[in-house]
Structure formats: C-alpha cells, structure tokens
Amino acid sequence: MMKKSLLRLFAVFLTLSLFAAACGDDESSDETTAGESAAEASSTDASTAESDDSCVAGETDGDLNLYNWSEYIDPDLKTQFEEEFGVTVNEDNYDSNEAMQPIISAGNSGYDLIVPSDYMVSILIELGDIAPIQKDAVPNLSNLADEFASGLPYDPDAEYSVPYQWGTTGLGVDLAVTGEDVPQTWGLVFDADLAAEYGLDGAFTLLNDPRETMGAALKYLGYSLNTTSED
C-alpha cells in the first residue's frame, strides 16, 4: 500500500506538443491494420505535414496518431473522441522521455501528438523537432489556469506546447514493512544502513528517468535539484 509522499520535489509539467500539422488537403491517408503501430499508420508524409499548416477547430484530415505515456489518458475519452470526430486514435506508449526523443528527432515518425515532460519540450524545440501549436484550432486553451498559460521556462511564449498535467515526485512506503515511525527522508533510498533498519534493504524502485533520479540524489545531498553545475 502506497502512503503519502515524503518530500516535495519538483513539478513536472507534462505537455501536449504537435509534431506535425494535422490538417490540410491530403486525402490519401492509409488505414491502420491490426497490430500496426501509430508510427507505421501515419497518413501524412513529411513534405505534406510541412506544407499543410492551416487548421481550424473541429477540422480533421485523417486518424490521430498519439505517442504518450501509458495510462495517461482514459480509454473512454479516446472512444468519445473517435465517435465525435469519426476518426481512429492510434496510441503508442513509451516509458521515458529518453526513449521517445530519438524516435521523434529521427523525423518522419508518423506521430501527430506527443506528450513529453517539461525539459524535453525545450530540447525538442531547440532541435527543431516539433511544430508550433495552431492555437486557433485549440479552443479549449481558454480553460488553462493563468499560471500555466505562458511564462513556463521550457516554452516561455507557449508557442510549441500546451500544459496537460503537472505534479510532484516523492516516495511511497509500505508502513506494514517500515512501521509508523519511518523518517521522511530520501535516505531510505540512498543510505543503505537506514534502509535496512526499516526493512527496505534494496526493496524499492525508481522511475526510469535520469532527471528524476539525479534530482532526488541532489536533494538528498543538500544541493538544488535544478543545478546546472557539472561539479
């Protein structure tokens, strides 16, 4: 049983970023066959995606190829989207930003929409791998809280991304193993003697994310988890 998080660490803003323009006049989209990935099911080649850059709200020109973290969107919501717009949502999943990024940066991935974390958005922008958001085609941007509408460090002008989820990272412990008096410290991960004292000798898992794991280590050692110092 997972209990409350121990220390407030860092808010990871998860953003929706358009990889390629989704609207245009292309009518030669291919249908997805069973077992085919969203990347393989791309209905628009790179040259078309670059030239067809005009969308309006509610306009579609084919199915939606989504590259996302697992369990980040309610399957019923995808079904409702398909029924409302008469398209198919083809979703592939990845388990880390670093697994996703090379596929996108290689080009011609076939994905219309990706869901990177905050720091990865700035990397993809710098590499020229994602297209600006066509804001006229996203009317629900008006639902964003003011603090998320612009001014975020990874995309200051909110030109390439739209905030989708945010949260904090912490530790969850099984009190049946540790007891109620377990200290609220990252030492449970990084101090082997302390972990063993509370029955957690090697019995933990961490996210497959270098920023998360290095950030936790920096926090434990008393450094800023946002440091850019190589030392």
3-class SS string, 143-188? HCCHHHHCCECCECCCCCEEEEECCCCCCCCCHHHHCCCCCCCCHH
Antiparallel, parallel or unpaired: β 89-94 and 64-69: parallel
Tokens, residue 166: 């945010």
Domains of the chain, with CATH numbers?
14-165 (3.40.190.10)
Predicted confidence at residue 12, as pLDDT, reads 40
b/e sequence 138-148, b meaning 16+ C-beta within 10 Å:
eeeeeeeeeee
In this prediction the pTM is 0.68
**What are the pLDDT tens digits along the chain (231 aa)?**
333 333 333 334 444 443 333 454 444 344 444 345 555 554 444 333 344 456 777 788 889 999 999 999 999 999 999 999 999 999 999 988 999 999 999 999 999 999 999 889 999 999 999 999 988 888 889 999 999 998 999 999 999 999 988 888 888 899 998 999 999 999 999 999 999 999 988 778 888 788 888 889 999 999 998 888 888
Predicted confidence at residue 221, as pLDDT, reads 94
